Structure 1
Amino acid sequence: MPFKSGRFQKKWRDSIPTIVFLVICLALWQIIVSYFKLPLWLIPSPIDVLKAFWNTRELLWAHTLTTLLETTAGFVLAIALGLAAGVAMVLSPLIKRLFYPLLIVSQTVPLIAVAPLLILWLGYGLLPKIVTVVLVCFFPIAVSLIEGLEVSDDDLLNLLKSMGATRWQILYMIRWPNALPSFFAGLKIAATYSVMGAVIGEWLGASSGLGVYLTRSSHSFRTDQVFAAIVAITILSLFYFVLIAGIRRLALPWLHTKED
């Protein structure tokens, strides 16, 4: 218990500079808007954003739930596909030679150019938004897993091979444990991208979601509501990031013991 308490106090002390800097930025923002009497439609003050967040909380929550559903479904599907692709490419050099270059090239195509095609092919329901999230999250998950699986102790690999271990046994006993830190690093990156993917899909065609809320608020010059939506998107992204970090702590406790 004292160890955990001390670790919590250390993390709290480490976060104080960030909190102080954030408070200073918000205070300066409020002072500038108030001093120059900037109009609400141009740039709202933090207090205006807070009021908009509270006054439209029920509507904002309804749109957030839609984005949450799309993001969660797409993120889980991206993890499953990333795991399958990563394992397949590591176990089969032929599959890697065929598909890894395509995986890299796919990242040169802007998502904003692909999303309209998904709307055209899949309609205006949840499916195109889920697919958009998958496209955003799949790359960092798959690449981080592949890189992690390929970095292993050569002596251990040769030892297991000399003992007649199969590729699956080597994967389970050596490659997978070594790949977990890299895999979770990719999950953290994908977690922060996932909400953005859902919002982009909603911009191009949807009836609900934070992207729809953003678009409607922007068209009506309710900049305070636009900032409120940005706050909601940020909170949602941080939620997924913290969730993955918590799962990583449970799955890899020895790493956090070293770090602490």
Structure 2
Amino acid sequence: MRGSALRRLYPVLGVIALVVLVEVVGRFELAGKSWPPLTEVLASLGQPGRLDLVLRSLGATAVAAAAGLVLGTVLATAGAALGLLVPVARPGMDRLAAILNAVPLIALAPLLIMTVGREGTPTVIAALGVGFVMFVALSSGLLAASRTHQDVFTVLGAARLTRLRRLQFPAALPYFLDGLALAGPTAVLGATIGEWFGAPSGLGVLIVSAMQNFQIPLLWSAALSATLLSLLAYVLFSRVQVLAARRFA
């Protein structure tokens, strides 16, 4: 019991230590004037309209990240399933995922702006990052079914689609949830970066604007908001993963 309480206390102590470190570095200007104290960043949110601006930007980024998470997950699931249903297509799907992940975002940005528009670019960039993470997770998970179970389905003459639906998808659930825990923060990062390329609103737009106008507290407010959103997504999906493990263990 005591050991369990200590394990729960360690993350709290880590967060407190990090907050204190950030405050000390900013207070004594150990990293220069571009690193303000955390208290100064929080106090700046009290300026007229500042908190509303950050919250609106946070909402826009959250919507783009959520849309990218759904789109990327759906495409990754379809790609991984296609690789099992049509084995000859699997090497091509693997290479396509690797190539898309390797292409620099700065090279994709002009193409995305011309095709899906500035408003849709954050969602697509988020989906690209999520898609690769989920494709890797699902590609491993769909092959995780035990050899004994696979032999049973073979003996019963199950079609590939039946095998996929009744055996491989259930076996891949832990891998799917593992992938979601990583894909959530990836979606937030992708949406934020996608907003740098001319989106009408979002934390990425706020970060670029604050950086260009040397509004350091606003810059840090936007960056911390993006960090908290990523952390929230990770904690949420990690909790779902734990609950699912308890339910299906």
TM-score, structure 2 normalization: 0.89
- Which residue of structure 1 lines up, in the alignment, with residue 22 of structure 2? 29
- Which residue of structure 2 lines up, in the alignment, with residue 196 of structure 1? 189
1:11-160 to 2 correspondences below 5 Å: 13-36=6-29, 41-55=33-47, 56-125=50-119, 127-160=120-153
1:141-179 Cα shifts (integer Å, max 9, x gaps) = 012101111122112211221122222222233212221
Cα 1:37–1:244 change in 2 (3 A) is: closer
1:110-155 Cα shifts (integer Å, max 9, x gaps) = 2232123211333222x22211111111011012101111122112
| Aligned residue identity for 2:78 | A
- Paired residues, number: 247
Cα 1:99–1:37 change in 2 (3 A) is: closer
Tell me how far apart the structure 2 counterparts of residues 110 and 11 of structure 1 sit (CA, whole Å): 44
Tell me how far apart the structure 2 counterparts of residues 37 and 91 of structure 1 sit (CA, whole Å): 57
SS of 1:155 mapped into structure 2: helix
1:35-73 Cα shifts (integer Å, max 9, x gaps) = 45987x522001111112443211100111111111111
Tell me how far apart the structure 2 counterparts of residues 38 and 93 of structure 1 sit (CA, whole Å): 54
Contact 1:115 1:200 (C-alpha < 8 Å) held by counterparts: no
Contact 2:29 2:35 (C-alpha < 8 Å) held by counterparts: no
The reply to whether residue 242 of structure 1 matches residue 231 of structure 2 is no
Tell me how far apart the structure 1 counterparts of residues 31 and 101 of structure 2 sit (CA, whole Å): 40
Tell me how far apart the structure 2 counterparts of residues 34 and 246 of structure 1 sit (CA, whole Å): 36
Tell me how far apart the structure 2 counterparts of residues 129 and 168 of structure 1 sit (CA, whole Å): 34
Listed as ranges, the gaps of 5+ residues in structure 1 are: 1-5
| Aligned residue identity for 2:207 | L
Listed as ranges, the gaps of 5+ residues in structure 2 are: none
Tell me how far apart the structure 1 counterparts of residues 225 and 29 of structure 2 sit (CA, whole Å): 27
1:64-118 Cα shifts (integer Å, max 9, x gaps) = 1111111111111111111111111112111113322121122221223212321
Tell me how far apart the structure 2 counterparts of residues 98 and 24 of structure 1 sit (CA, whole Å): 47
Tell me how far apart the structure 2 counterparts of residues 16 and 196 of structure 1 sit (CA, whole Å): 28
Contact 1:44 1:224 (C-alpha < 8 Å) held by counterparts: yes
Percent of residue pairs identical: 28
The reply to whether residue 167 of structure 1 matches residue 129 of structure 2 is no
1:169-218 Cα shifts (integer Å, max 9, x gaps) = 22233212221111111111111110111111111112210011111111
Tell me how far apart the structure 1 counterparts of residues 6 and 114 of structure 2 sit (CA, whole Å): 51
Contact 1:90 1:150 (C-alpha < 8 Å) held by counterparts: no
Contact 2:85 2:160 (C-alpha < 8 Å) held by counterparts: yes
Question: Aligned-pair RMSD on alpha carbons?
Answer: 2.3
1:213-247 Cα shifts (integer Å, max 9, x gaps) = 11111112111111111111011112222222233
Tell me how far apart the structure 1 counterparts of residues 205 and 106 of structure 2 sit (CA, whole Å): 16
